[in-house]
Amino acid sequence: MSGACAYAFNEPLLFPSLGATAFLIFETPLAEVGSPRNTIVGHLVAIGAAAFALAAFDLLDASSALEAGVTGARIGAVALAVGLTGGLLRLLRSAHPPAGATTMIVALGLLSSGREIAAVAVGVVIVTVAGWLLNRALGVPAPVWAARA
């Protein structure tokens, strides 16, 4: 599914975080980190934190780190995005490690347009729903939304 999303949206950089998300959904379907709640909340927080960090460092319209190189502002944006993502996910009790890849990809400017950000969000939902459906079809009692504490 992560490959299909990357192909459908023509965004190969969806692979790092969506591939890791799919892995958690299938390897730890009953754990909090692999639950639909943590998956969706984790990636949405990551996208929001990265967008905030880009705005804070005036990088919303800047070229990506691949095009412009790594600058002090870019390092600051990535550090802020990762810190915010980790802190907010801790507060929300929504740990999802692949969200770290999402926040870095966005903060580095590798996926930055509205269309690209939407592709990430839609891809997360597609992979989450497909993983949940497949787990259920295979008899795994994956939680509908949140894992039991």
Confirm whether 45 is domain-assigned.
Answer: yes
Confirm whether 99 is domain-assigned.
Answer: yes
pTM (2 decimals)?
Answer: 0.93
Distance from C-alpha of 86 to C-alpha of 97, rounded to nearest angstrom:
9
pLDDT tens-place string over residues 1-22: 777 777 888 887 777 888 899 9
pLDDT tens-place string over residues 90-139: 999 999 999 999 999 999 999 989 999 988 898 899 999 999 999 999 99
Confirm whether 110 is domain-assigned.
Answer: yes
Distance from C-alpha of 74 to C-alpha of 96, rounded to nearest angstrom:
24
- Look at the chain and report how many structural domains it folds into: 1
Confirm whether 13 is domain-assigned.
Answer: yes
Task: Report the Cα–Cα distance between both ends of the chain, in Å, rounded.
Answer: 28
Confirm whether 109 is domain-assigned.
Answer: yes
Q: Tell me, what's the pLDDT at 16?
A: 86
